[in-house]
Amino acid sequence: MTISSVDVIFVISNIVTRYYQHLEVNNLAREQFQTLSEPMYYILLSLIDKCCGVDIMKRAEELSQGRIAVGPGTLYTLLARFQEAGIINEAEISGRKRTYIISDYGKELLKVEYNRLHLMLNDGEVIMGGL
């Protein structure tokens, strides 16, 4: 292989790496957590107390009165993303079992979401209340 083709490979791999970094940092950490989806909201609510993955699934279902079911794959991905963004912390590790708890930043985020939902409810009440 000549030096020029090695250069080309190097430049292209740099572009690809930067693209992935851009995807991860911008899309996931910022945009995704600006407004929480229902499963995200209930997972964070479940993590007000220390909780392991399996318990989170059960607690989210209980808190939402069976309305929200978080699949184990989705939960695993979300927990990893929450942790990367500093929204939750790892509280305990026992073998393969990991326990998590919401961080101060996570509580702030949850509060913002709670207030947003509350405002929406009030606005709805003004229009829909008399119907």
List 29, 64, 74, 83, residue binding other proteins (CB under 8 A):
74
List 80, 117, 120, 121, residue binding other proteins (CB under 8 A):
80
Nearer to other proteins, 3 or 126 (CB): 3
Q: Does 107 bind other proteins (CB under 8 A)?
A: no
Give the start-end residues of each E strand in 63-116. Answer: 88-94, 97-102
Q: Which of 61, 64, 60, 62 lies closest to 46 in space, CA to CA?
A: 60
Site for other proteins in 8-27 (CB under 8 A): 8-9, 12-13, 16, 20, 23, 27
Region for 96 from its dihedrals, namely left if φ exceeds 0, alpha if ψ lies in -120 to 50, beta otherwise:
alpha
3-state secondary structure of 42: helix
d(Cα 25, Cα 35) in Å, to the nearest integer? 16
Q: Does 96 bind other proteins (CB under 8 A)?
A: yes
Name the residues that contact other proteins, by CB under 8 A. 1, 4-5, 8-9, 12-13, 16, 20, 23, 27-28, 37, 39, 53-54, 57, 69-78, 80, 96-98
